[in-house]
Amino acid sequence: MRMKRVILVTGTPCIGKTTTAKALAEKLNAHYINLTEFAKTYNLILGEDKQRKSTIIDEQKMRQKLTQTINSINNQNIVIDGHYAAAIVPTRSVTHVFVLRRNPQELKAFMEKSGYSQNKLQENLQAEILDVCLTEAIEAHASKVYELDITGKTTQEVIVDIMDVLNMNKKCSVGIVDWIGTLEREGILDEYLKT
């Protein structure tokens, strides 16, 4: 039997994880898990962080439930979508981690279109600029991490890049973007990093 792949799709909020992960799951005929939905379905929410307007997850319970779910699926690849996927899915279960990256100028436009508050927008842009998701992914999954710059790409183009990695046609490394340098060259870094 072919090895079951457990593929994480992670990245800063609003970067395009769900759009990409759903398309990938369809392409691979894989089981799709969205961690936000998963937490709701299995009642893994401890409460609300009112200040940050986000939910607090019972991480231990979520790890247990994820392990159980992953182990119960035998003949299908699994695609897991979530911005904290790399921190929460047990390392031994994971085969690939795709960290999606988007130029902060484009990400800002996406967030504005999606109606993000000024605070959330600033917080998430800074997380993208400072490689927060990438760092988290490398800490937990090291050589399984593939960083993809999806700026200006259609979903189908992103899927082609991911399939190239999965089929081992393309090596993909980390450290491929430098948003600090990019914004600095444009003379707008301060604008993005101010609090």
What length does the chain have? 195
By CB under 6 A, the residues from 107 to 166 that bind ligand ATP are 110, 114, 153-155
In the complex, what is the shortest distance from the CB of residue 18 to Mg ion, in angstroms, rounded to a whole number?
3
14 binds, among ligand ATP, Mg ion, none (CB under 5 to 8 A by kind): ligand ATP
Compare residues 80 and 183 and give the one whose CB is closer to Mg ion.
80
- The CA distance from 75 to 29, in Å, is 11
Give dist(CA 1, CA 19) in Å, integer.
29
Of 80, 79, 99, the residue nearest 11 (C-alpha): 99
Determine which residue in the list 5, 18, 63, 174 makes contact with ligand ATP, applying CB under 6 A.
18
Subset of 16-75 contacting Mg ion (CB under 5 A): 17-18
Which CB, 87 or 189, lies closer to ligand ATP?
87
- d(CA 41, CA 35) in angstroms, rounded, equals 10
Alpha-carbon torsion angle 18, 84, 130, 183, nearest 10: 10
Instruction: Give yes or no for residue 105 binding ligand ATP (CB under 6 A).
Output: no
Cα→Cα distances 92→67, 113, 145, 166, Å: 10, 38, 14, 18
Choose the one of ligand ATP, Mg ion, none that binds residue 19, judging by a C-beta under 5 to 8 angstroms depending on kind: ligand ATP
Task: Tell me which residues in 131-170 interact with Mg ion (CB under 5 A).
Answer: none
Query: Which DSSP symbol is given to 85?
Result: H
Indicate which single residue of 13, 24, 38, 161 sits in contact with ligand ATP (rule: CB under 6 A). Answer: 13
